[in-house]
A = this chain, B = another copy of it.
Amino acid sequence: MSGNETESVSARPVLIVSDHTGITAESSARSLLAHFGGLFTYHSRPFVTTAQLAEQVAGELRQMQAEGPPPLVFATLTNPELLGTLQRVSALVFDLLGENLTRLEGILGQPAIRQVGGHHDMRDPQQYLARMDALDFTLSTDDGVGKNRYSDADIILVGVSRVGKTPTSLFLALQYGLRASNYPLADDDFASTELPVPLQPFQDRLYGLTIDARRLHTIRTHRKPGSRYASLEACEFEVRRAERLFQTQRLPMQNTTSASIEEIAVGILGYLKRQAQSGSAFPLP
Contact = CB atoms under 8 A, between A and B. Distances in A.
Interface in A9-32: 12, 20-24, 27-28, 30-32
A218 interface: yes
A104 interface: yes
A135 B170 contact: yes
A107 B273 contact: no
Identical copies of this chain, number: 2
A4 interface: yes
Contacts of A101: 32, 35
Contact of A113 (B35, B47, B266): B35
A144 to B, nearest CB: 14
Given A123-B258, A175-B1, A260-B123, A118 B34 contact: yes
A182 interface: no
B94 A100 contact: yes
Contact of A37 (B24, B47, B113): B113
Contacts of A12: 108
A212 B141 CA distance: 30
A167 B176 contact: no
A284 interface: yes
A230 to B, nearest CB: 13
Interface of A: 1-2, 4-5, 12, 20-24, 27-28, 30-38, 44, 46-47, 72, 76, 78, 92, 94, 96-97, 100-101, 103-104, 107-108, 110, 112-115, 117-123, 125, 129, 131-132, 135, 139, 142, 166-167, 170-171, 174-176, 218-219, 222, 258-263, 265-266, 269-270, 273, 276, 284-285
